[in-house]
Copies of this chain bind each other. A is one copy, B any other.
Amino acid sequence: MIEAAVLTIGDELIRGEIVDTNSASIASCLQQIGIGVKKCLTVGDDTAEIAETLEQLIGSYRIIVASGGLGPTGDDITREAVARALGRELVYNEEAAAKIEKIFTRRNIKFTTNNFRQAYFPEGAEILNNERGTAPGFKCQQDNTSIYILPGVPDEMERMLAAEVLPDLQKLNSGIRPLLLARYQVIGLGEAELEDRIKKIIKDYSSVHFSFLPRGGVIEVKLTCSPEKENLLSRAEKEIERKLSSYIFGRGDATLTGKIGKMLKNTSRTIATAESITGGLLGKRLTDRAGSSEYFAGGVISYSGESKIKLLGVPRELLATRGAVDSEVAELMARGARELLAADIGLAVTGYAGPEAVGNNVGLVFGGLAVEGRQYSVRWNLTGDRKRIRWLTSQFAFNLVRKHLLEEIT
């Protein structure tokens, strides 16, 4: 496997003012084409520090991908630092300058002489096109190391990485076949339960590497193996699919809201929500997806007892005797939302997110689902802080819908 290093540059990063997401984006893209990142580094906007760090990396790694510090202001000194590390001069590139000026004219932004700084590159650099901003990136080759310098704005960086860097790296990497990979998204099983369930498969397929990545109620199960063992991997995949069956809700980057969105759309069904504990998170997550208006009829955020009574028709006596966190309340909320918004499916959640709760019941949550003529509820005991409990509630509520649709369809 070709080894790479990632370098991110910016004072705001080493001061902890913003979280560096570029390193993970770059590492994940490289990983997918079979290039392994061995080390990520972050330094501030400091010419000497950047140059010194690059000098240490050049020669030790076949590939260096760096981002940040390509802007037009005096703080942006990555160009100078790279030139210093490579022992080359910065040279003015007329073509790049013309391109930058054109972008400014088109956007009707004032062009200052400062912006011409972005048209200087280390001698011999190949310019990388920036489709989403003014700062071009560049590539240099030195001592068997390919160095890619990208802008720091995540959006611009990601586009340049996909359009310019990855195709180039794939050429470099053409002799090497990437690792084979299969990813499953699993919900409804704990990590220990999951491992236990497939431990025989893990043992039988010793040349397949299994890993588990728990992420907010969902576990990603990842199988990797060398490209020579393709047959083995597909056999292992079949066994995993058989063993985990409907706990798997998708492959690759599948999401729960994507999955139920597709299922609702395909079956021409609509859904309405009634949210107490999540306060709008169910609706927010459903509508994160463009096109959700096709299946999301709308919702009620019934955070108060009064709104559960008035809008959703939960009887006042029931609330008074059982309280708001109750299985029957969840069912009636689901039914109420379904009727109020004239949807096929009503989905409701009510529970204690904490930090305080009646009877120390933080994490006690009921999910309710209503369809034509019937409704039912499920009880969940969730752990974590307020944020996590609300998130898990949304995950399990969406899974309730998924399971319902699976049963209805089959």
Contact = CB atoms under 8 A, between A and B. Distances in A.
A168 interface: no
A42 interface: yes
A342 B27 CA distance: 51
Interface string A54-90: 0000000000000000000000000000000000000
Nearest to A286: B279
Interface in A272-289: 273, 275, 278-288
A307 interface: yes
A307 B341 contact: yes
A301 interface: yes
Nearest to A75: B211
Contact of A284 (B36, B37, B280, B298): B280
Interface string A14-37: 111111110111111111000011
Contacts of A97: none
A173 to B, nearest CB: 16
Interface residues of A, number: 73
B279 A296 contact: yes
A17 to B, nearest CB: 6
Nearest to A343: B304
A378 interface: no
What's the number of copies of this chain in the assembled complex? 2
A12 B25 CA distance: 12
Contacts of A236: none
B40 A14 contact: yes
A356 interface: yes
Contact of A41 (B12, B40, B273, B387): B40
A188 interface: no
A301 B304 contact: no
Interface string A35-56: 0111111111000010001000
Given A15-B27, A41-B41, A303 B296 contact: yes
A314 B25 CA distance: 45
A293 interface: yes
A23 B20 contact: yes
A12 B40 CA distance: 12
Which 8 residue pairs are nearest across A and B when measured between Cβ atoms? Answer: A280-B283, A279-B287, A16-B28, A16-B27, A280-B280, A280-B284, A299-B301, A40-B42
Contacts of A36: 14-15
Interface in A318-366: 340-342, 353-356
A340 B306 CA distance: 11
B42 A39 contact: yes
B40 A49 contact: no
15 contacts: A13-B27, A14-B38, A15-B28, A15-B31, A16-B28, A16-B31, A17-B24, A39-B42, A39-B49, A280-B301, A283-B284, A293-B304, A296-B304, A297-B307, A304-B341
